[in-house]
Chains A and B, each alone.
Chain A
Amino acid sequence: MLKLMLSLILLLSFPTQEDRYIKVRHEMVSLQIENRGITNKPTLEAMKKVPRHKFIPPDQINSAYEDGPIPIGYGQTISQPFIVAYMTSVIDPKPGQKVLEIGTGSGYQAAVLAEIVDTVYTMEIITELSKSAAERLKKLGYKNIVTRNADGYYGWEKSAPFDAIVVTAASEYIPPPLIEQLKDGGKMIIPIGSPFLTQMLVLVEKSGEEIFTTNIFPVFFVPLTREK
């Protein structure tokens, strides 16, 4: 009996693997995100909650919370935590909103957005990635994310307009359909530049008939695709 109690105490007092991930995740938010000036509370809470390590290939899991992107296959990467946080915070996400994401990848960005807004529509052109992301998000219990395996260039016309659009794939220019599908007063964040090297993160704001852009900072994303 004593042995059993001792074993239970030991078991309960030693941190589990999940506990360790939570700790590391909170440290990631504190050191990599808050320290770099991101103060948007919903974003910080979402980043603390979403288990980034569950979106990483098993052989890379030790790097899940490091300050950098991680390859996920097919020449794609899951973005650096800071970039995910920045792209989330800059569109000023709120409950009740509808957000479009282009480039599902692992599904991590969609999961972060889904912690804040009402619905996330996310599109991925590479079938294998789209499928695996959909399965992963379902397993993790995300019911407010709608995935689609399709060409993101055309956006998601049926569900438009969107309060915000987050594009995680590079383009040389802002796809006109996405501008169309952005609400008046809405914000789009998109990496613009040559698709095969570094790009500039650009914030696009729609105000009536006018479209204004603001260059933010350099990033590196994989190319956006579109159909003929």
Chain B
Amino acid sequence: MNQSRIPPARLSASVLLLSTALISYQLLLVQILSIVQWYHFAYMIISVALLGFGAAGTFLSIFQKRMQNHFDSIYPFLLAVTSLLMAVSVGFSQTEFLYFDSYRLFSDMTEVWKIIAVYLIFFLPFFSGALAIGLVFMKNIEKIGFFYFANMTGSGIGGITAVVLMWFLFPEKLQALIAAIVLLASLISFSKEFRYGITLFIALTAAVILYVFVNPPALRFSEYKSLSRTLNLPQTKIISNTSSPYGMLHLVSSEYLRYAPGLSITYPDQVVVNNAAFNNGEWTGPLIRFNNKSVFRSSTEYLPYVIGKKNNVLVLNAGTGRHIKYALDEGAVSITAVEPDKELLGLLTKYYADMVDSVYNHPNVHIKNIYPRSYLLSAASKFDLIRLPVIDAFGGTSGLYALQEQYQLTREAFGEMFSMLTDNGVICISTWIDYPYKNPLKIIATIADALYEKGIENISSRTAAVKNWNTLTIIVKRNFFEQTEIDSIYSYCRRMKFDPVILPGIGKEERDFYNKLQDKSFYAYIDQLFESNEKREKFYSDYLFNIRPADDNKPYYSQFLKWKSISKLSDSFGNQLVPFFEAGYILLYTTFFQIIIIAFILIILPLFKIGWKGKNKPRTLFYFSGLGLGYMFIEIVLIQKFTLYFGNVIYSAAAVVSLMLTASGLGSLVSQKAEVLRSKLPWILFFITGSLILYSLILTPLLKITIVLSLSVKIVIASLLIGPAAFFMGMPFPLGLRMVSSKIESAGETAWAWGINGVFSVTGAVLATVIALELGFIWVMVFAAAAYMMALIANVRKH
């Protein structure tokens, strides 16, 4: 095999740039697809596209020799192809011919062919990019630690780069910039082998990138997204469009939007809402400019104020400021508004403050730009009212949101909120009364479990709830309700024609008088949930849906599906409606099975070339798959844990990923230089396995204790927790690859090993979500340790 003429330093730099771009491109695609489709379809598409890495390994294992012989021309060409594909993929996916609407996927099977085409479009840049990286690894197997360092470090930088750039550029322009980074990588790998053809191709790619940057493709929102539907209305226009890592935020002016959840049927006047905010095309909230006091006082949401004034109010997920406004109107003297979306806050405190009556700038309002649960964990204040956002949209917290972590709706969160109440303080939450009954029951179960855990007795005597035709507002009081308060609630219900559903001393008929439910078992279910802990457990087991409260280990509040119930649901509601109940959950498993099938093919296919025999092969498979799975499992768990810790999902994800990858890259570099580490591989794997077992025991309590510390101290703690394990986690892969390459009978086995790692990394990302959903994050960590244990066993047996 001939030597490459590309100097190692330039080759390494090009690998770093390419890796940066691949991760940035992945994050960008998730952002773009979340904007034009829905997040979980984005997740599905990207997960499959990432199998480009696995496919590259398969391809290399078959064609490695030929490609290595022409490395100096093939490598820069692959980079140029990757660059071009990155620049044009999004544009192609938005063309009339290929554009698919995920909303119609469950009802129109012709959309399936389009989604397959979109898979392919986004698969290709990852395939060609991974092929380039794999080629470098195979060509320089003896120096793999050095190049793996470049790969990991570049990936780490890519995570931060994407997040930073999203603040400055719209996603459709960003793709061109990322493509340019890859093109630069191609240019710096210039060697005398550069043919005229490649040079021309690079020039053409540069021209395309420039064109795309100047004329980016228009992003087509699904016509079923809230924003699209709203824009169909007359006299409706976008007045602001900004982009950030939080998503694409649109402020819309319309004469036709109004929002009044829980409104009484006795309310005679107009409800005026001119404007609204949409994030990634989805409804975020109304922008209430005018005095809306009478609307609020005629809705079930007014319930906490019926029993008395609230001076000190906490509004979680304050959003467009609706509940801040109501609290101010009701005379609150101090309002703490917790809102994690920095972009939204920026708009509503500065340029468009008047659209929300400048509520966020009111002197009585204190803004906390932090994740709500992080605030609950770190704050010491007491409140008269803690207001949670409406559990929005009938069925909308299941469906596509089933996979969303909602730490503010866990049992532990309610326990913390209860502790933050003054003596007469209340927690207030409103929810749509869905059918089959899910959200109201789960909220009530969560309240009951949370208080039970705190040793609070007579839970139902501290709870009140009223309903109109389909909204239920629940308040939980620190102390028992006074008789005057109960009388006030009764009186309010009679005036507004609401039905009291939970109230001390309530009669059966009173619950279902003005607003009847066709299925009255709702009331019996509530009574059962309050009756005792044993009755609640039985209800969780027997009920058609998963009503068991979410907890910090499994914070998926909106996951309601029980597999055993699917056939019953299908009989009752038809096949077409069921996906909308649990679309996110179903999409996750669809993604998982797709990946399993493709992964199986990608792993088996090379064996036809490199041969099936040889006792190394099973060990190679277990070793590299264990590494791929284990790394992804722990990465995902750490992102989750540190999101709460730092109070910001985007920065936490970027920080964890960058820290892990950089530390692993350094580990890889050290493994290259320190020959002695080759023989210590079993000990390294043992250390990693032990660290992960330790994580599963101490990480959560440690983070809880230190969450109140300052940001800089928390960053140091995070580095100390993540760094050492990640450092050693960067060693087994390059060490393993070198071992495989030194013992092979077939040239393709090294590439096959690399491909296995890629395939299982992708599989691991999806499998981690499945495990977290079904068993909780602790089990993801346990499985991570088990994966490294598997690699350890495979390695030890090799010796």
Contacts and interface: CB of A to CB of B under 8 A. Distances in A.
B223 A194 contact: no
Nearest to A211: B265
Interface stretch (B255-263, B309-317, B341-349, B403-411): B255-263
Given A126-B232, A172-B263, A228-B255, A196 B469 contact: no
Interface in B256-304: 256-261, 263, 265, 267-272, 274, 282-283
Nearest to B514: A212
B518 interface: yes
A199 interface: yes
B576 A68 contact: yes
A185 interface: no
Contacts of A225: 233, 256-257
A195 B518 CA distance: 22
Contacts of B256: 125, 151, 225-227
B399 interface: yes
Nearest to A179: B265
A125 B518 contact: no
How many residues of A sit at the interface, in one of the four size bands?
A: 35 or more
Interface string A55-90: 000000001000111010011000010000000000
Contacts of A216: 518
Interface in B565-622: 573-574, 576-577, 580
B226 interface: yes
A54 to B, nearest CB: 20
Interface of A is mostly: loop
Contacts of A69: 107
Contacts of A172: 258-261, 263
A63 B233 CA distance: 27
How many residues of B sit at the interface, in one of the four size bands?
A: 35 or more
A55 B622 CA distance: 58
Nearest to B255: A228
Interface in A131-190: 151, 172-174, 176, 179
B74 interface: no
A221 B1 CA distance: 65
Contacts of B435: 200, 215, 217-218
B349 to A, nearest CB: 26
A228 B469 contact: no
A215 B517 contact: yes
A227 B270 CA distance: 10
Contacts of A196: 225-226, 229, 282-283, 393, 396
A107 interface: no
A172 to B, nearest CB: 6
Nearest to A69: B107
B523 interface: no
A223 B395 contact: no
Interface in B467-519: 468-470, 497, 514-518
B394 A226 contact: no
Nearest to A192: B470
A214 B518 contact: yes
Contact of B232 (A75, A80, A179, A192): A75
A176 B269 contact: yes
A216 B515 CA distance: 11
A198 B574 CA distance: 15
Contacts of A195: 226, 229, 283
Contacts of A71: 104, 223
B429 to A, nearest CB: 16
Contacts of B573: 218
A151 B351 CA distance: 31
B263 to A, nearest CB: 4
B433 interface: yes
A200 B433 contact: yes
B469 A192 contact: yes
B354 interface: no
A212 B266 CA distance: 11
A218 B225 CA distance: 19
A226 to B, nearest CB: 6
Contact of B224 (A75, A202, A210, A228): A75
Interface string B212-231: 00000000000111101110
A202 B518 contact: no
A213 interface: yes
Contact of B268 (A176, A197, A214, A222): A176
Interface string B431-451: 011110000000000000000
Contact of B399 (A192, A197, A202): A197
B392 interface: yes
Given A75-B223, A215-B469, A198 B580 contact: yes
A198 B396 contact: yes
A174 B401 CA distance: 27
A220 interface: yes
B258 A226 contact: yes
Contacts of A198: 393-396, 399, 434, 580
B363 interface: no
A76 to B, nearest CB: 8
A113 to B, nearest CB: 23
A103 interface: no
B234 interface: yes
Contacts of A218: 394-395, 434-435, 573, 577
B580 A220 contact: yes
B509 to A, nearest CB: 13
B465 to A, nearest CB: 16
A179 B265 CA distance: 9
B576 A67 contact: yes
B394 A197 contact: yes
Given A75-B229, A196-B282, A214 B263 contact: no
Interface string A92-109: 000000000000000000
A51 interface: no
Interface in B773-799: none
Contacts of B577: 218, 220
Given A200-B470, A213-B514, A217-B518, A193 B107 contact: no
B229 A223 contact: yes
A220 to B, nearest CB: 7
Contacts of A222: 229
B196 to A, nearest CB: 48
Contacts of B282: 196
B470 A202 contact: yes
Contact of B470 (A179, A215, A228): A215
A214 B394 CA distance: 16
Contacts of B283: 194-196
Contacts of B268: 176
Nearest to B432: A193
Interface in B728-773: none
A197 B396 contact: yes
Contacts of A226: 256, 258
B220 to A, nearest CB: 13
A174 B104 CA distance: 29
Given A125-B233, A198-B394, A200-B433, A214 B228 contact: no
Nearest to B254: A225
A210 B433 CA distance: 22
Contacts of B230: 223
B395 A197 contact: yes
Give the residue among A173, A193, A195, A202 with the most B Cβ atoms within 10 A.
Answer: A173
A194 B518 contact: no
10 contacts: A172-B261, A194-B394, A195-B229, A197-B393, A200-B433, A213-B469, A218-B434, A220-B577, A220-B580, A226-B258
Given A215-B435, A220-B580, 9 more contacts: A126-B233, A194-B283, A194-B396, A196-B396, A197-B396, A198-B393, A198-B395, A211-B514, A217-B518
What 7 A-B pairs are tightest by C-beta distance, nearest first?
Answer: A194-B393, A198-B395, A193-B394, A197-B393, A197-B396, A196-B226, A173-B263
Interface of B: 104, 107-108, 223-226, 228-230, 232-234, 255-261, 263, 265, 267-272, 274, 282-283, 392-396, 399, 432-435, 468-470, 497, 514-518, 573-574, 576-577, 580
